[in-house]
Amino acid sequence: MSESHYTLGGTDEELRRLVSLAAHEEDHVVDACRRAGVTVGMVVADLGCGPLGALGALARVVGSSGVVIGVDANVHALEKARTLLAEAANVRLVAGDVNSVSREQLGVAAIDAVYCRLMLLHQPDPARVLARMSALLRPGGVVIAHEPSDDLAHAPASEPDVPAMTRVWELVIGAARSRGARTDFGRRGRAYLAAAGFAIEHTRAYVVHYPPRIGYEIPRVALASLRPVIDEHGLATNEEVAQLDAKLRQAQQLDDGQWVSSPLMFEWIARKRRGNLTSA
Q: Report the distance separating Cα 235 and Cα 227, nearest Å.
A: 9
pLDDT band at 87 (very low <50, low <70, confident <90, very high): confident
pLDDT of residue 86: 82
Residue 252: count other Cβ atoms within 10 Å of its Cβ: 17
Q: List the helix and strand counts (H, then E) for the chain.
A: 10, 10
Classify residue 43 by its DSSP letter: E
pLDDT at 6 over 80: no
> E-strand spans in the chain?
43-47, 67-72, 91-95, 111-117, 137-148, 157-159, 198-206, 209-210, 259-261, 265-272
Residue 62 per-residue DSSP state: H
How far, CA to CA in Å, does 121 sit from each of 127, 150, 179, 266?
Answer: 12, 8, 11, 11
pLDDT in tens, 145-188: 999 999 999 999 999 899 999 999 999 999 999 999 999 999 99
Banded model confidence at residue 7, pLDDT cuts 50, 70, 90: very low
pLDDT at 22: 63
Q: What are phi and psi of 250, to 5 degrees?
A: -65, -40
The overall average pLDDT reported for the chain is 90
| Mean of pLDDT values over 33-49 | 97
Contact (Cβ atoms closer than 8 angstroms) between residue 152 and residue 166: yes
Domains of the chain in sequence order: 3-272 (3.40.50.150)
Across the range 227-242, mean pLDDT stands at 97
Strands 111-117 and 157-159: unpaired
| Amino acid 29: pLDDT | 95
Q: Residue 82 and residue 3: Cα distance in Å, rounded?
A: 20
Q: How far apart are CA 235 and CA 273, in angstroms?
A: 42
